[in-house]
Chain A
Amino acid sequence: QKEVEQNSGPLSVPEGAIASLNCTYSDRGSQSFFWYRQYSGKSPELIMFIYSNGDKEDGRFTAQLNKASQYVSLLIRDSQPSDSATYLCAVNIGGTGNQFYFGTGTSLTVIP
């Protein structure tokens, strides 16, 4: 079992809709959580990070963390065609040092 699990999708939403991406992790000691966006053929780039339970909002993006359920999500409001990409959930499991583990990614397509 992977440390970080994501639904690989693909997920399709119409332009202007809310896209919801989900992620679960197995290590209860994990302390920091990240969402990266990766366009085809490109490197991943950070969208959001969250450390505390609850919601964190940044523009059209909201990250949600529930440590008790070991669950992280990303909401994208007013989805745009430019949001079409693969979204990667990452968890820093810490321990003896920093080890960032990624999920398999969710492919999102926003339909104009």
Chain B
Amino acid sequence: IAGITQAPTSQILAAGRRMTLRCTQDMRHNAMYWYRQDLGLGLRLIHYSNTAGTTGKGEVPDGYSVSRANTDDFPLTLASAVPSQTSVYFCASSDSWGGDTGELFFGEGSRLTVL
């Protein structure tokens, strides 16, 4: 049982480079999310998608883009990485509709360092 797979697990990236973090789930969950986790700031929502073909902005969307072409995949792209995007990135999914249900299932995280 894979659940949510993130890749890469760790990456060092030069500032200005483009980077895509991959996220795939095999649970057929309708909703998917990207969070970044920084010391002292907790988990902050970057983008979310409630169903394939739709996306929305979270708390800190600037500098990031997402797409949801199908149910299983939800890649996060940094078009031109900056050092402030150094963080641990978590992809998550939930099987929920509406606003009052849904456990979040997390991937193992992707540690990104931008130099």
Contact = CB atoms under 8 A, between A and B. Distances in A.
B99 interface: yes
A43 B57 CA distance: 22
A102 B34 CA distance: 12
Interface residues of A, number: 30
Contacts of A29: 99
Interface residues of B, number: 30
A97 B59 contact: no
B103 A49 contact: yes
A49 B96 CA distance: 14
Interface of chain B, main secondary structure: loop
A102 B48 CA distance: 14
A102 B103 contact: no
Contact of A32 (B43, B101, B107): B101
A32 B102 contact: yes
B102 A102 contact: no
B43 A88 contact: yes
A43 B109 contact: yes
A94 interface: yes
B48 A97 contact: yes
B42 A105 contact: yes
Interface string B15-48: 0000000000000000101010000111111001
Interface of A: 3, 6, 8, 29, 31-32, 34, 36, 43-46, 49, 51, 88, 90, 92-105
